[in-house]
Homo-oligomer: A and B are copies of this chain.
């Protein structure tokens, strides 16, 4: 038995004592430990911030971009951009499953998967770069990667296009958390309802509140409103500026018969929307921040400043079954799938 740490610390080379993500160099030796999974990699989906940085640094020259990617992975044992710190995800085929995971994982050799942990902590060896598709930040390679015992992944479905599945999986945490949080009869406000995670959250909230609850979608533009109306995933749609808490409060109360709401879910990817999310929620209600533009201190001090006794949750990108919940939404709803195909899978 050669069992590693479930978080992969056994592969950290430098500096010692840290986790694989902050590490400068990890081992990409492809001899797997008993609790690791070996993946035959097909493609890397480089994080957009990272890809753009490398592209600009190399003047858009594809050969130079290739060389730079090989250099980074050679130095670090993982595809973590030294400037942005970010990674991305990969697609590949399960090649070998460590002994101690057999029977514990639902994966089989030959399954096509997407890893949902960042490339910034995934041991990777590139043998050859086959092609680069700069318009979708995609790098097709021959190579191998390792998934740690704690590493999360999704089996790629056979009944939908790969780019469609990946677009949905990218934000899988939000709808899955919505599914867990929202209860029948509740009133739910979703800020940024017209965006990718927003639409999925609305659909999921509609399912969960049942016939007695209410889902209110907040969007910025008339176009977003029309799309949501077409989808039919909200009881009420309001157009408001999420950076203006008093406007959001008043319009939400109006849409909810003058009552404060039970749950607010923030999917807006701009800063300074904390108070708009907190103000409309009733005492003992829940505020769920999925937006990465959320400021911890603005939320904490903001709620205190207005004396709101609400539970504020940091959106965790992972929750059990998140991939399956999200893909299932696209299977269940023809219109949602169509909109996703048009917007994100071209």
Contacts and interface: CB of A to CB of B under 8 A. Distances in A.
Contacts of A45: none
A300 B315 contact: yes
Contact of A117 (B116, B297, B300, B304): B304
Interface in A286-326: 289, 292, 294-297, 299-320
Interface stretch (A15-23, A65-73, A138-146, A225-233): A15-23
A314 B312 contact: yes
Contacts of A297: 292
A310 B316 contact: yes
Interface string A226-251: 00000000000000000011110000
A218 interface: no
A302 B318 CA distance: 10
Given A246-B19, A247-B17, A316 B292 contact: no
A318 B314 contact: no
Given A17-B244, A118-B305, A152-B307, A289 B296 contact: yes
A151 interface: yes
Interface residues of A, number: 50
Given A9-B246, A296-B289, A297-B292, A308 B318 contact: yes
When all copies of this chain in the complex are counted, the total is 2
Contacts of A246: 9, 17-19
B316 A314 contact: no
Contact of A314 (B18, B151, B313, B317): B313
A309 B319 contact: yes
B121 A305 contact: yes
Contacts of A244: 17-18
Given A295-B296, A312-B314, A304 B173 contact: yes
A306 B17 contact: no
Nearest to A294: B296
Given A19-B246, A275-B19, A309 B314 contact: no
A313 B305 CA distance: 18
Contacts of A150: 306-308
Interface string A115-134: 01110110000000000000
A279 interface: yes
Contacts of A296: 289, 292, 294-296, 299, 314
Contacts of A320: 283, 309
Nearest to A151: B307
A141 to B, nearest CB: 22
Most chain B CB neighbours (cut-off 10 Å) among A18, A151, A246, A275: A246
A309 B318 contact: yes
Interface string A261-292: 00000000000000100010001000001001
Please list the 7 inter-chain residue pairs (A to B) with the smallest Cβ-Cβ separation, ordered nearest first.
Answer: A304-B317, A312-B314, A152-B307, A150-B307, A296-B296, A304-B318, A303-B316
Interface of A: 7, 9, 17-19, 21, 116-118, 120-121, 150-152, 173, 244-247, 275, 279, 283, 289, 292, 294-297, 299-320
15 contacts: A9-B246, A19-B245, A21-B302, A117-B304, A150-B308, A151-B307, A152-B307, A292-B296, A292-B300, A300-B317, A301-B317, A310-B316, A311-B313, A312-B313, A313-B313
